[in-house]
Every structure is written in structure tokens, then in C-alpha cells.
Amino acid sequence: MTKGKKVVLRFPHRLVDKPIVYRLVKDYDLQFNILKASVTPKEEGLLVLELSGKKKSYDEAIRFLTEAGVETQPLVQDVFRNEDRCTHCGACVTICPVNAFIVDPVTRRVDFHDTKCIACELCIKACPVRAMEVRL
């Protein structure tokens, strides 16, 4: 089993009204949890999913999505911290709904656990020095 792989799917305009995600369940026996879904003004669909299932099925499903014209990308790259800007104040700590920011009790520095991140983007504007950035 692959457990909880987070992936960003980008649907071009022509695919926005096509049923695609259900096939991940039906054909590839994957469980999905929607972390984020939006249709941008240019009518591109964006979906952030957490997918669990057999590794082989997961790989095949990604291949299916790619061939269907959906752009896929692992989630971890999406929200990242600009280490030069972060001052380790800690303003983000209570804003993050999944506790991806943890204050080290000894150094008082803020560690960002990007594997926990669900790309909700709440930290982006809550960071006073704008150290959190999105790459979508």
C-alpha cells in the first residue's frame, strides 16, 4: 500500500467537465481525499488529492491521468518556505490546521514539516515577512 501520497492535478479547460477522478476508484482501486479543489478564472481545474492504494495501481493511475491530459505533480513542491526570509518568529504555528510548523523547544526555531502540508495556503498571507510561497 502507498499511504497518503499527495498530488496536485491540473485539468486543462477541455477536461474540466469530464468525469475523470471516479476512474481512479473504479479502475485503479485508489482511495482519495480531496484536500483542495478550485476552478481558476481561465477555467483550469485544480485538484489536490491524497491518494492511497497499491503502488502499482498508483503509478498506473498517474500514467492514465497524464495520458488523459491532466498535469500531475507531487504536492510537496507547492508550498515552500523561503529560508532567507523566514525569521522564525512563529506567527504561522497556530494558523496551520495540520500543525506543519513546530517550534523546536531548544533552539526556538520553527521547523516546517512539508510532508504534513495540505497546501491550504493559510500561512501564505499570515506570515508577516511573506516567507511562505506557493508554486502552482
Partner 1 sequence: MTKSIAEINEKIAKGQAVVVTAEEVIDLVNKKGVAKAAKEIDVVTTGTFGPMCSSGAFFNLGHSKPRIKAGGGHVYLNEVPAYTGIAAVDIFLGATAIPDEDPRNRIHPGEFNYGGGHVIEDLVAGKDVRLVITAHGTDCYPRRKVETWINLESMNEALLFDIRNAYQNYNVAVNLGERTIYTYMGLLKPNLGNANYSTSGQLSPLFNDPYYKTIGIGTRIFLGGGTGYVAWHGTQHNPNVLRTEKGLPRRGAATLAVTGDLKQMSPRWLVGTSFIGYGATLTVGIGVPIPILSEEILSYTAVTDNEIFAPIVDYFEAYPQRSPDILGEVSYAQLKSGKIKIQGKDVPTASLSSYSRAVEIANILKDWIQKGEFYITESVSPLPGVDSGVVVKPMQERPFEEEG
Q: Given the complex with partner 1, which of 94 and 115 has the nearer CB atom?
A: 94
How far apart are alpha carbons 106 and 115 in whole angstroms? 22
Q: Given the complex with partner 1, which of 91 and 136 has the nearer CB atom?
A: 91
Shortest separation between residue 107's beta carbon and partner 1, angstroms: 6
CB atoms within 10 A of CB 15: 17
Provide the pairing of β-strand 71-74 with 2-11: antiparallel
Site residues (vs partner 1, CB under 8 A): 85, 87-95, 103, 107-109, 125-126, 128-130
Shortest separation between residue 84's beta carbon and partner 1, angstroms: 9
Shortest separation between residue 89's beta carbon and partner 1, angstroms: 4
Q: Given the complex with partner 1, which of 6 and 81 has the nearer CB atom?
A: 81
Q: Given the complex with partner 1, which of 24 and 110 has the nearer CB atom?
A: 110
Shortest separation between residue 54's beta carbon and partner 1, angstroms: 38
DSSP calls for 79-119: EEE-TTT-----TTTTT-TT--EEE-TTT-PEEE-TTT---
Contact (Cβ atoms closer than 8 angstroms) between residue 35 and residue 8:
no
